Amino acid sequence: MKRLYYGYITGPLIGIFWTLVVSTSVSILMAFATGGAYLPTLWGSILSGLLLGLLAVRFQNHLIVIPAAFLVAIILPFVGLGPLAYGDSIPLSMQGISSLLFSIGTGWALVKYLTDCPWGNLTRHEFEECVIRFLTGSGMVFFTAIVLIPFYVMVMTSLKSQQALLLNPLDFSLEFEKGWGLLRSYFELFNDFNFGTYMITSFVVSITTVVITLLFSVPGAYAIARFRFAGQGALSRSILLIYMVPMIVLALPIYVVFSTTGLRNTIIGIILIYPVTTIPVSLYMLQGYFRGLPTEVEEAGLMDGLSRLVVIWKITLPLSLPAMASVSLYVFMIAWNEFLLAFMLLDDPKIFTLTRGVAMLNSSEIPRQHLMAGAVVSTVPIITIFMALERFMTRGLTAGSVKG
Amino acid sequence: MEPPKGRGKLAQRDARFAWLMLLPTVIIVSLVVILPLFAIVWISVKPIDLGDLRPTTLVIRENFRTGDEVHEIEYRVRNSSQEASIADAGFTDIVPSEIELLELPESCSLSQGSNLDCDFGDIEGGFRERFSIPATITVSPDVAEDLAEESQPRVRGDADSVLTNTEFTFDNFRKLFDQKEFFTVLWTTLFYTFFGTVGALVFGLFAALLLNISFRGQGILRGFFLFPYVAPVIAVAFTWINLLDPFSGSINTLIVQMGLTEEAINFFGQRPLALIMVTLFEVWRYFPLSFLFILARMQAIDFDMYEAADMDGASPFQKFWYLSIPQLLGILSILFLLRFIWTFNKFDDIFLLTGGNAGTRTLTVNVYEQAFGISNIGAGAAVAVIIMLFLLLFSFFFFRFISQEEGL
């Protein structure tokens, strides 16, 4: 390891690895944006990275390294060693844009990574700082890509026509001249496939689930958290145990019972069964929160002659509003995303929930952009709610949701 | 003075109150969780098919046939099951006063002039009979037909339901263990569970390390990293299928274009790649959870410790390895155990991605496959029982090692 502790060795090494990351990312980015053939080259990237790493360590200045990277990207291809290679049909302008992206991506980041990294001897500290900055940068690129690409493809596919998709599955450039025609799949979903109704059904089912869940779990969680009674330990353990029973195991007898009692294929049946899947989670989350509330406030209320119920209503509940918001959001998310029970219990297209409706679109007769449009329609509301209330949501997730 | 011993009045009242508050929850949860669990065990020792869910009954159809002078009421009767027998089978029907039955078959009798009662005694599975009763009418044939068919015959009979009788069998389990496939399923489940869990933890740890540095846009990025978990599974699963489609998927086009492979790869259709892909999907979808937990824990680590380490000249990697990791070990092991259990329980993801084909059938998918794919509810329940046994084992570990830390 010690042999690496020289700026003129660390710099080029980080340069090489980072350039590989950048040329791959730029190729994928350009390919997904335009559908053309862009590819990173191994030896070209290594050569460019070597040069740029040395420059970055030597000059430590964006204004030198970025233009140098641009030159590298447009000159090296002439000797057959460019960091990026292009297919035959790629116009010069696009090659220019990719070179520009490449030069900013390498030059700007490499200077950042290699600041405080002198040309000669490095201390272990300086070396590791550089490596960590490089790893952080690569990690950002990696995670952003793996999260972004599926959602990007989901949205873009829903806006394409079937022919365009079959022609080049990579080409996600939008045909803006179609105007509203871009949203054709969505219009068809809402007009011909009843997705408006499904959405309302999903909202109604999810909100009812939240309300019922809270009605049951707030008193229950309070009792577990505040009172001492025989069987308390066993009870709070069995909550966790129930929380672990897989849905498919329950779904089978529920299917049998619902089939024989006529609850199958009804919204009532769904509303009956959803809260039961969420009550244990909610109990678990809320009792953790109630335990964290100071008992003194409640005891003061009791001393003043309030009854237990009044204390809960006037003191505990207002204090736990944020926790209830988190739990509600989390339960809403579970109910909104629930698929298995809806799939097994609902057959009648009139009363589908949104997830069941999307499952219906998965057929060879229905074009794929409809399926993706359905996926977008089911994703957008929950993601919007999530983004708007991110603070509550993340807290809700951390409080109880080790469940998937 | 001695401190009070035993339970005071107040404590007793509190305990009663506590149970009162818990009662609704306990009742509903036992109704929908505990009962089904018993049901599963019950069904697993029953020789039962999906078709047996409908109770065996007598099925009857009534027809009025117009003749020249004498008309006919025709009854067609059959047993809905081919195997199960019905005891004391029969039916009653009200004959309108406008119709007069001329001669009755042996099994039938007429009381009060209008109540027709036919009795077949004990009938076998597959029983089928049709007979006609000649009749004269005082109104026009069309009216008579309407009148006759207006009154629906009522059937009776005691059928023995497979669900409720006392016939038990271990056939479901025996068949299950006889299949070589079962052990493949078991192995697939363990592979998926183990690597899915570890992968999600490792990815989550890396993502948390990235966001543990404060910078502008950190909050947004944190929210963004949670997308795979928040989006409905059905949406992201279909997106993955779409993305990786061998004929028109973008990824395949991309890697062929980049020259990584000669021809498109059928990611979800061939062994063992399909199993690896569903495991990767699991990692992708659940790394956000571990990420969130690990990040929360990291931000709670006392900063002084790092400052002290800085004073002592510790390098960044040393600080990570000797300070952060030991601090995170607790949450990592809790996450591992819990995620292991949930991943073991996972059904939707694989069901949507591959339907359990191409070597991706896990135990949970097998429950569905047995019960609905080949319509053998009993076998499905048997697999479910095996899952529950595994869970008991896991929860033993869970309560042994985790509950102290969680304070439960």
Q: What is the ipTM score, two decimals?
A: 0.92
End-of-domain residue from the set A167, A202, A223:
A167
Size of interface A-B (CB pairs under 8 A): 290
Q: Answer yes or no: is B79 within a domain.
A: yes
Residue A358: list chain B partners with CB under 8 A.
232, 234-235, 238
Please report whether residue A375 resides in a domain. yes
The owner of tokens 């040309």 is A119
pTM of the model: 0.86
B33, A387: Cβ pair inside 8 Å?
no
A268 touches chain B (CB under 8 A): no
Decide if A294 is inside a domain: yes
Question: What is the per-residue pLDDT across B380-403, written as a single tens digit (0 to 9) for each?
Answer: 889 999 999 998 888 888 777 765
Question: Within a domain: residue B207?
Answer: yes
Which residue on chain B is closest to A259 by alpha carbon?
Answer: B53
Chain B CB within 8 Å of residue A256 CB: yes
A interface test, pick of B26, B234, B343, B368 with most A CB neighbours within 10 Å: B234
CB contact under 8 A, B28 and A276: yes
| Number of compact structural domains in chain B | 2
How many domains, in total, are found in chain A?
2
B212 and B155 fall within a common domain:
no
Q: Do A27 and B380 touch (CB under 8 A)?
A: no
H-type helices in A76-161, by residue range?
A: 92-113, 124-159
Residues B192 and B310 in one domain: yes
A167: tokens are: 């022609």
On whether both B343 and B265 belong to a single domain, the answer is yes
Examine the domain organization and report whether A147 and A91 are in the same domain. yes
Judge whether B172 lies within some domain: no
Does A181 reside within a domain? no
Please give the structure tokens belonging to residue B160: 């023995």
Within this chain, do residues A55 and A118 fall inside the same structural domain, yes or no?
Answer: yes
DSSP B31: I
Position B404 scores a pLDDT of 53
Does the residue B335 lie in any domain?
A: yes
Residue B349 lies in a domain: yes
Q: In 3D, which of B144, B39, B32, B43 has the Cα closest to residue B99?
A: B144
**Block residue for tokens 């000059």:** A59
List chain A residues with CB under 8 Å of B259: 39
Supply the range of the domain harboring residue A235.
Answer: 187-400
CA nearest A281: which of A402, A136, A149?
A402
Asked if the Cβ–Cβ distance from B206 to A27 is below 8 Å, we say no
Instruction: State residue B7's pLDDT score.
Output: 67
Q: Are residues B117 and B195 in the same domain?
A: no
* CB distance A329 to A385 below 8 Å: yes
Q: Tell me, what DSSP letter sits at residue B323?
A: I
Residue A273 shares a structural domain with residue A305: yes
Domain annotation covers residue A371: yes
Does A241 share its domain with A291? yes
Question: Does residue B320 share a domain with residue B187?
Answer: yes
Yes or no: say if B320 and B233 are a contact pair by the CB < 8 Å rule: no
CB-CB under 8 Å, B254 with A253: no
What pLDDT, on the 0 to 100 scale, is given for residue B315? 86
Same domain, A157 and A217: no
Domain annotation covers residue A172: no
Instruction: Check CB contact under 8 Å for B17 and A216.
Output: no
Q: Of the residues A167, A195, A219, which one is the last residue of a structural domain?
A: A167
Q: Do residues B261 and B148 share a domain? A: no
pLDDT in tens, A276-313: 888 888 888 888 888 888 888 888 888 888 888 888 88
Please give, rounded to a whole number of angstroms, the shortest distance from the CA of A41 to a CA of chain B.
Answer: 9
Residues B136 and B202 in one domain: no
List the CATH number of the domain containing B85: 2.60.40.1170
Q: Report helix, strand or coil for B405.
A: helix
Query: Same domain, yes or no, for A269 and A312?
Result: yes
**Residue A302 falls inside a structural domain:** yes
Mean pLDDT of A361-382: 92
**A248–B contact, CB cutoff 8 A:** yes
Is A225 among the domain residues? yes
Q: Are residues B64 and B108 in the same domain?
A: yes
The answer to whether residues B200 and B246 belong to one domain is yes
The pair of structure tokens assigned to B395 is 């929860």
Question: Measured between alpha carbons, how far is A165 from A382 in angstroms, rounded to an integer?
Answer: 27
Same-domain pairing of A217 and A135: no
Which of B26, B207, B338 lies nearest to residue A402, judging by beta carbons? B338
CA B31 to chain centre: 16
Least CB–CB distance from B235: residue in A32, A247, A379: A379
**Nearest-Cα residue of chain A relative to residue B14:** A227
- The b-or-e profile of B286-313 (16+ CB within 10 A means b, else e) is bbbbbbbbbbbbbeeeeeeeeeebeeee
The answer to whether residue B407 scores a pLDDT higher than 70 is no
Is some CB atom of chain B closer than 8 A to the CB atom of A254? Answer: yes
Domain residue limits at B249: 180-375
Please give the pLDDT value at position B6.
Answer: 62
The more confidently predicted of residues B133 and B243 is B243
Question: In whole angstroms, what is the distance from residue A286 CA to residue A336 CA?
Answer: 20
Q: Which positions 161-200 of A are in contact with B (Cβ < 8 Å)? A: 165-166, 168-170, 172
Residues A163 and A230 in one domain: no
Instruction: Say how many residues make up chain B.
Output: 408
Q: Are strands B108-111 and B115-123 parallel, antiparallel or unpaired?
A: antiparallel
* Domain stop point among A134, A167, A200: A167
- What pLDDT, on a 0 to 100 scale, did the predictor assign at position A294? 84
Instruction: Tell me the pLDDT tens digit for each residue of A83-142.
Output: 998 888 888 898 999 999 999 999 999 998 988 888 888 888 888 889 999 999 999 999
Q: Does some domain include residue B399?
A: no
B174 falls within a domain: no
Q: Which CATH number does the domain housing residue A390 bear?
A: 1.10.3720.10
Of the candidate ranges A52-56, B141-145, B261-265, the one whose mean pLDDT is the lowest: B141-145
Residue from A302, A297, A385 nearest A337 by CA = A385
- Same domain for A228 and A346, yes or no, is yes
Average pLDDT rounded to a whole number, residues B308-326: 88
Whether chain B has a CB inside 8 Å of the CB on A27: the answer is: yes
- pLDDT tens figures, B191-248: 999 999 999 999 999 999 998 887 888 888 888 999 999 999 999 999 999 999 988 8
